[in-house]
Structure 1
Amino acid sequence: MNYESSVTADSPEYTTADMAGADGRTERSSRRGLWITVVLLAIVVVAVAVYYLMGSGEPAPEAGADAGQAPAITVVSPGSGSIEGEISATGTLAARRAMPVGIAGEGGRVVSVPVDAGQWVNAGQVLAVIDHSVQNQQAASASAQVQVAQADARLAQSNLERALQLVDRGFISQADVDRLTATRDAAAARVKVAQAQAGELRARNARLNVVAPASGLVLERNVEPGQVVGAGAGTLFLIAKGGEMEMLARVGESDLARLSTGVSADVVPVGTEKVYNGQIWQLSPTIDPQNRQGTARIALPYAEGLRPGGFAAATIKSGTVVAPLLPESAVLSDDEGSYVYVAGKDNKVERRAVQTGAVTADGVIITQGLTGRERIVLRAGGFLNPGQTIRPVKAGS
């Protein structure tokens, strides 16, 4: 006999085994979905973070957050004060009154030169002795001619006096007296001629020697014993009158207009650190059209360190000015001129064009462009750009 049994869901066998398998599969599916959701959320968070960090069109971070990332830059507010104006110039040293000395007479062979360059001489002192042998003989001859003329004049005077004594006795006529008088006058005139000729020779002989026209310092000696010199021999000696020196300072056209005679100046020759004080005694009346400069002549007393022809630097006082004074590190320059960086509104970097004046030991004088109340970038200006946000830090804080 065949018996068929039907198995249903309500049977004990299905409820115990098959339901357990179904619950396991459902739990695993739920866990898998949870992990997928977590991963997707993490990806979204990372994407949003990257999006904001890259600044892709979203609103900028708040000022407080941005200030923490801005670079700290040292700034200074120089203010305005009275500054002793100075003008720096360069130039050459020279004798203030250079006197070239040459041959005044006919010249001749140089016998001796008793002075040398670097020595002091007095007015009228002999610098070079010229051979006088021929001229001395000529002078002696002229002196003898004077004596001959004087003897003739004495004889003519005696003849006239004797003739006058004989006129009253009738032995001498008036015509003879007139003739003797003329002879006497002619003899006296010849004496004067001879004396003048002798004096001329003596004067020429005196001019043969080269003498100093004034007291001073001998700068150059261009003659040696045995040399034959004449009127065309040129300058034999160069003398600085009184030993006074000067500096020919080359000054710009605008700076020259700010100077006047009597202004003090400090001169430092090249190769030394010694400072020589002088005064401007003359300003050039003309401007060189090539370099737009003029000459300020600075008078200097004699000193061994001042050598004519040498190069020197001068610092000239140009009065007191009221202007900001900045360190050199704060002033920049390019093809457009000098400028500074200013920490402006919202701490944004602004470029400000300025006009600089003299450079002193304390900094650069700003003549135009600043009031002194601005916050000027002290350093690192070369690494900034206009519009960049910075965090200003007062110098010294």
Structure 2
Amino acid sequence: MNYESSGMYALTDETGTSRRRWLILGGVAAIIVVLILAFVLMRPAAGPAAGAASGSSDAHLPTVSVASPGRNAVDRMVSATGSLAARVDMPVGVAGEGGRVTAVLVQPGQWVAAGQVLATVDRSVQVQTASSLAASIAVAKSDAALAQSELNRAQALVGRGFISKADLEKLVATRDAANARVKVAQATLAETQARNARLDIRAPAAGLVLTRSVEPGQIISSGSGTLFRMAKGGEMELRAEVAESDIKGITVGARAEVTPVGGGQSFPGQVWQLPPVIDPQTRRGVVRIAIPYNAALRPGGFASASIYGGANTSPLLPNSAIQTDATGNFVYIVGKDDKVERRPIKTGEVTDRGVAIVEGLNGDERVVLAAGAFLAPGQKIKPVPGKL
């Protein structure tokens, strides 16, 4: 009984193993049939021998946008850095004899007119001196009037023989001396008044007060140095250091864009002076760029500048067309039989319209505009017109 049961179990296991083997073989066969059908369906349809072969080859070529850049006018741009300053920096000091400051009437950042009083100096002694001189003029005028009166009487009597001509000449000289003393007294008073007027510290021209280094009660004199600094008319400038090789392409009146450090705002400017000398150590010169007044422009601050001038004609390409490796910049152009060729280039100015190519291209080549990183020299492509 036991032997018969063992034989039955062995037969059942053998039958199950055989069934699994056939299922696996059937699955493999089904996969092979599917692959064969897919291969047959994906094969191109048969046609004319030459045409079919050519069409199949072109269908597998990469489609690449190309364009001829031509030549465009590009402004030459020179980058420089430097310090902001007043275009005409006016130091204001003591013009007269000085004294004790009684009042300071302006603050840095304030606009003033030409001749406006910036600070006053005590003049109590000078006022008394001027009053004394004014009184001396009155005395001199009285003496002159008396001398003229005596001369008039003498002239009336000289015809009757009561006055000699010698006495008359003395009276004339006395009258002239008295008039001269009046003029001397008037000149002395005018000089004193002019000196007194110079006690006030005044603006030499209209402009913006930049600094102040004087306070009420301070004793000042001609040796006190600069009390105020002003920017004439509020005009500013950038004193940009430019390489000697770049200066030759810049002209007076050239357009510039000035950007103070730490700010994204740029201000229009114009070159108004080229450097008369070059620093023999740095081989640089200072180009002065005039900038209209703006509160964001502070003398002493650092700024960068882009100076434009000397337009050239060059091909312009988008950044996507320019490739770079260890040997430098290059582009791919489409040559004979639509095969790409590597062309080394040298880039120039970067503008809103693209990058100027100063060497390597004439402008009539068909240049690959994009996907250059996925191409290789000698590779055949399918070029399509692109837009620059």
TM-score, normalising length from structure 2?
A: 0.71
Establish whether residue 79 from structure 1 lines up as the match of residue 49 from structure 2.
no
Amino acid at match of 1:370: L
Amino acid at match of 2:183: K
Residue of structure 2 aligned with 1:298, choices 289, 298, 313:
289
Report the CA distance between 1:345 and its aligned residue.
8.8
Q: Which residue of 2 aligns with 1:360?
A: 351
TM-score, normalising length from structure 1?
A: 0.70
Identity %: 51
- Helix, strand or coil: the match of 2:307? strand
Query: Larger deviation: 311-320 or 149-158?
Result: 311-320
The separation in 1 between residues aligned to 2:154 and 2:384, in whole angstroms, is 117
| Structure 2: 5+ residue stretches without partners | 1-61
Report the CA distance between 1:226 and its aligned residue.
1.0
Counterparts of residues 180-219 of structure 1 (less than 5 Å) = 180-219=171-210
Report the CA distance between 1:328 and its aligned residue.
5.8
The separation in 2 between residues aligned to 1:331 and 1:222, in whole angstroms, is 58
The separation in 2 between residues aligned to 1:312 and 1:345, in whole angstroms, is 46
Change over 3 Å in CA distance of 1:281–1:389 after alignment to 2: closer
The separation in 2 between residues aligned to 1:75 and 1:293, in whole angstroms, is 44
The separation in 2 between residues aligned to 1:141 and 1:240, in whole angstroms, is 40
Counterparts of residues 106-121 of structure 1 (less than 5 Å) = 106-121=97-112
The separation in 1 between residues aligned to 2:289 and 2:317, in whole angstroms, is 30
Aligned length: 320
Whether contact under 8 Å (1:92, 1:311) holds in the other structure is yes
The separation in 2 between residues aligned to 1:380 and 1:331, in whole angstroms, is 7
Deviations 1:15-35 (A, max 9, x none): xxxxxxxxxxxxxxxxxxxxx
Whether contact under 8 Å (1:340, 1:377) holds in the other structure is no
Report the CA distance between 1:342 and its aligned residue.
5.7
Whether contact under 8 Å (1:340, 1:376) holds in the other structure is no
Whether contact under 8 Å (2:332, 2:368) holds in the other structure is yes
Amino acid at match of 2:223: G
Over the aligned positions, Cα root-mean-square deviation in angstroms equals 3.4
Whether contact under 8 Å (2:332, 2:342) holds in the other structure is yes
Q: Which residue of 2 aligns with 1:340?
A: 330
Report the CA distance between 1:108 and its aligned residue.
0.9
Whether contact under 8 Å (1:263, 1:318) holds in the other structure is yes
- Helix, strand or coil: the match of 1:208? coil
Q: Which residue of 1 aligns with 2:137?
A: 146
Larger Rg: 1
Establish whether residue 274 from structure 1 lines up as the match of residue 244 from structure 2.
no
Query: Larger deviation: 94-103 or 311-320?
Result: 311-320
Query: Larger deviation: 183-192 or 292-301?
Result: 292-301
Report the CA distance between 1:206 and its aligned residue.
0.4
Report the CA distance between 1:191 and its aligned residue.
0.9
| Structure 1: 5+ residue stretches without partners | 1-71
Whether contact under 8 Å (2:93, 2:225) holds in the other structure is yes
Deviations 1:334-362 (A, max 9, x none): 7x9x543767999798683x544223355
Whether contact under 8 Å (1:82, 1:320) holds in the other structure is no
The separation in 2 between residues aligned to 1:213 and 1:175, in whole angstroms, is 56
Residue of structure 1 aligned with 2:150, choices 140, 156, 159:
159
Change over 3 Å in CA distance of 1:100–1:313 after alignment to 2: same
